[in-house]
Amino acid sequence: MVTLVEFVVLAVVALLAGTLARRAVARRAAGRTTSASAGAVVAVPCQARWRQGARRRFFGYGKLGAGADGTGSVFKAPLRGAVPLPMGGRAAVRESLRPGMRVLEYRAPDGQRIDFQVYDAEAERAARLLGVPDPADW
């Protein structure tokens, strides 16, 4: 009986912690989106994974942001140099296995394939940073 009660208490605490974490992440994402809509250049936190090339086995947490001169985009991981990304490719957004996140599958014009795992609220802004054309503009 005691084990059952401990299991229920542990499940309730885990649910509460998960809910609080998702709300905090959503609040931060909404704040970054508001700042970006006001004209500020705000980097998108994400996890990047290259599918081929020299960085094929690399995946890492970092930020997707605008280039130093304001054009192009770069991926900047902590303690690593900024990696310039090719602009103007295609992107497909799919659900992630992690709740509250989506995977932006990016195909660059030169054939590179890079997956970015971003928060739900920031998937569209990440696609705009990569220069993906909006289908509504066609």
- Residue range 50-69, pLDDT digits in tens: 876 655 556 678 888 887 77
Q: What percent of the chain is predicted at pLDDT more than 90?
A: 4
**Cα–Cα distance list, 128 to 43, 51, 73, 75, 113 (Å):** 12, 21, 10, 14, 17
Q: What CATH number is associated with residue 86?
A: 2.30.29.30
Domain count, the chain: 1
Does 94 reside within a domain? yes
Does 23 reside within a domain? no
Does 37 reside within a domain? no
How confident is the model over 5-53, as pLDDT tens digits? Answer: 898 999 999 989 888 877 877 777 777 666 666 666 678 888 888 876 6
| SS3 call for 39 | coil
Does 18 reside within a domain? no
Does 124 reside within a domain? yes
Does 97 reside within a domain? yes
Structural domain boundaries enclosing 69:
42-137
In 8-137, which ranges are E strands? 44-50, 59-66, 73-76, 83-85, 90-95, 101-107, 113-119
**Cα–Cα distance list, 94 to 50, 68, 71 (Å):** 17, 29, 27
Does 16 reside within a domain? no
Does 13 reside within a domain? no
